Amino acid sequence: MLSRLVLVSGHTLKNSGSFGACMVQASRTFHQSSQSLAPVPPLPEKGGKVRHGIFPEELFTLLYPKTGVTGPYMLGTGLLLYMLSKEIYVINHETFAAASIGAVVIYGIKKFGPSVAAFADKINEDKVAKAQEVKDQAMASLAQGIEDEKKEQWRVEGRHMLFDAKRNNVAMLLETNYRERLHMVTNEVKKRLDYQVELQNLHRRMEQEHMVNWVEQSVVKSITPQQEKESIAKCIADLKVLAKNTQARATLNLRIFSKVLKITVKNVWGKPGFPVKRLLA
Amino acid sequence: MAGRRAAMKAIDWVVFAERVPPNQKAMFNSLKTRSDSIAAKLASLPEKPAPIDWSYYRSVVAKAGMVDEFEKKFAALMVPEPVDTQTTKIDSQEQEANKTAAAYLEASKARIAECEKALEKFRNMIPFDQMTIEDLNNTFPETKLDKAKHPYWPHKPIADL
């Protein structure tokens, strides 16, 4: 955890070069050997392994062949006893202050260390995820753009259909016009022939009517006054005979009707089942 | 007449409609309605007019020779075909459209090439978790902090943080 922080800060220090105005010269004096342009290998995920928080694992692996597992512990104990007994390190009130502070610090790190580390990692992850999302969106939109362009090219290929449709329209219009002309010619000729026929019919009708009128007039003219008086007298006599006949027939009908009525009343009135009320209503 | 009829091509309006871009759909619809009305008008007219019954007229019309004269003149009459003035215009329009289409295709291909190039750059990029800040500034020049304009940390306006 600490080593991660150390590595990151060290990296930024290297990147920012030196301080102030002497930046360029300072960075150049640091490069002793010729520069190689190979890409920088990726940074390790975790720092070097340590035991008990401070002592690197390499010490233990170094001493293992000669002294086994307990070697470094014996070394440590010996060194500590040496320093205490020879009073190279003097125990005073500062020792207790250091011990208490050390205890609190170690407790704090053990308790809150992982959560702080996770928080820092999450911030980093979010940054990377955002960048990745931007990249993905850009790639998707580019691919979509390419697809759309291809589609537009396909559309352009169909432009000949428009002109085919136009030419078809023109051909249809021409054909329609031609047919209309043919029809018009036929209709005109037919009209003229029909006119002649109608004219003839009219002539004949007029001749007929004229003849009929003329015959009527001549007949009426030929009736003499003597013939007229005779025909009127005959008409009056005929009317008189007709009137007498009609009167006789009328009285006969009346007598027959009254007889029938008497018979009906005698037979039907007052018998049971006769619908008086319905008749009267 | 037969020669003129063969010049008409069958148009598949469904396929045509697919190729029309959405911003020109209104023009396509108006073209289709016009074409349909013209076709309907053509279909409503019979191809040949009804023949005239010359024998009937010969029997009815009293004037001698009139019907014969009419018949002779009618048979000899040639109805002129209407002149086609528009096809050349349409052909020239088609040539122009071909030229503009070729230019558009060229531009479209150039755009596709640009898109492809950008896409390649994205594909060949190193993954973000292996990038350093230098690599990021090289790949996306807009992320480079301008140390000349803002010499003090954070090298960008506070509002941009």
| pLDDT tens-digit series, residues A66-107 | 999 999 999 999 999 999 999 999 999 999 999 999 999 999
Chain A stretch 151-170, residues whose beta carbon is closer than 8 A to a beta carbon of chain B: 152-170
Written as one letter, the residue type at B1 is: M
pLDDT of residue A207: 94
Contact B8 A168 (CB under 8 A): yes
Q: In the structure encoding, which two tokens stand for residue A90, read together?
A: 């003097």
Contact B77 A185 (CB under 8 A): yes
Flag whether residue A80 sits within 8 Å of chain B, measured between CB atoms.
Answer: no
From the CA of B142, how many Å to the nearest CA of chain A?
A: 13
Contact B8 A176 (CB under 8 A): no
Q: In the structure encoding, which two tokens stand for residue A211, read together?
A: 């003849």
Contacts of A46 (CB under 8 A, 6+ apart): A3, A4
Model pLDDT for residues B120-129, shown as the tens digit of each residue:
998 888 888 7
Contacts of B16 (CB under 8 A, 6+ apart): A158, A161, A162, A165, B28
Interface with chain A: mutation pick from B20, B104, B128, highest number of A CBs within 10 Å: B128
Flag whether residue A171 sits within 8 Å of chain B, measured between CB atoms.
Answer: yes
Among the partner-chain residues A154, A176, A183, the one whose CB lies closest to the CB of B41 is: A176
pLDDT of residue A20: 40
Percent of chain A with pLDDT over 70: 84
pLDDT of residue A71: 92
pLDDT of residue A129: 92
Contacts of A202 in chain B (CB under 8 A): none
Contacts of B60 in chain A (CB under 8 A): 197, 200
Minimum CA–CA partner of A187 in chain B: B49
Q: Which helix (H) or strand (E) holds A50?
A: strand A50-51
Low-confidence ranges of chain B (pLDDT < 50): 1-3, 6
* Check: complex ipTM more than 0.90: no
Q: In the structure encoding, which two tokens stand for residue B109, read together?
A: 């291909």
Low-confidence ranges of chain A (pLDDT < 70): 1-31, 269-281
Among the partner-chain residues A15, A159, A176, the one whose CB lies closest to the CB of B101 is: A159
Minimum CA–CA partner of A44 in chain B: B130
Q: In the structure encoding, which two tokens stand for residue B41, read together?
A: 């008008």
The angle at the Cα of B99, spanning B84 to B103, to the nearest 5 degrees, equals: 160
Flag whether residue A247 sits within 8 Å of chain B, measured between CB atoms.
Answer: no
DSSP string, A202-266: HHHHHHHHHHHHHHHHHHHHH--HHHHHHHHHHHHHHHHHHHHHHHHHHHHHHHHHHHHHHHHHH
Q: Is the backbone peptide bond immediately before A65 cis, with ω within 30 degrees of 0?
A: no
Are the CB atoms for A168 and B9 separated by under 8 Å? yes
Contact A128 B112 (CB under 8 A): no
pLDDT of residue A214: 93
pLDDT of residue B2: 41
Query: How many residues in total does chain B contain?
Result: 161
Closest CA to A2 of A57, A60, A48, A61: A48
Among the partner-chain residues A132, A174, A190, the one whose CB lies closest to the CB of B84 is: A174
Chain A stretch 25-64, residues whose beta carbon is closer than 8 A to a beta carbon of chain B: 40, 42
Minimum CA–CA partner of B93 in chain A: A163
pLDDT of residue A14: 45
DSSP string, A51-92: ETTTEEHHHHHHHHHHH-SSHHHHHHHHHHHHHHHTTSS--S
Alpha carbons A131 and A268: distance in angstroms, whole number: 120
Contacts of A155 in chain B (CB under 8 A): 19-21
From the CA of B107, how many Å to the nearest CA of chain A?
A: 10
Q: In the structure encoding, which two tokens stand for residue A281, read together?
A: 């209503």
Straight-line distance from the first to the last Cα atom of chain B, in angstroms, rounded to the nearest whole number: 80
pLDDT of residue A48: 87
Contact B70 A163 (CB under 8 A): no
Alpha carbons A188 and A197: distance in angstroms, whole number: 14
- Mean pLDDT (chain B) is 84
Alpha carbons A97 and B105: distance in angstroms, whole number: 82
Inter-chain contacts counted by CB atoms under 8 A, chains A and B: 158
From the CA of B112, how many Å to the nearest CA of chain A?
A: 6
Does the CA dihedral A183-A188-A189-A194 come out positive or negative? positive
CA atoms lying within 13 Å on the CB side of residue A256? 6
Contacts of A162 in chain B (CB under 8 A): 16, 31, 97
pLDDT of residue A85: 96
Contacts of B132 in chain A (CB under 8 A): 11, 15, 40
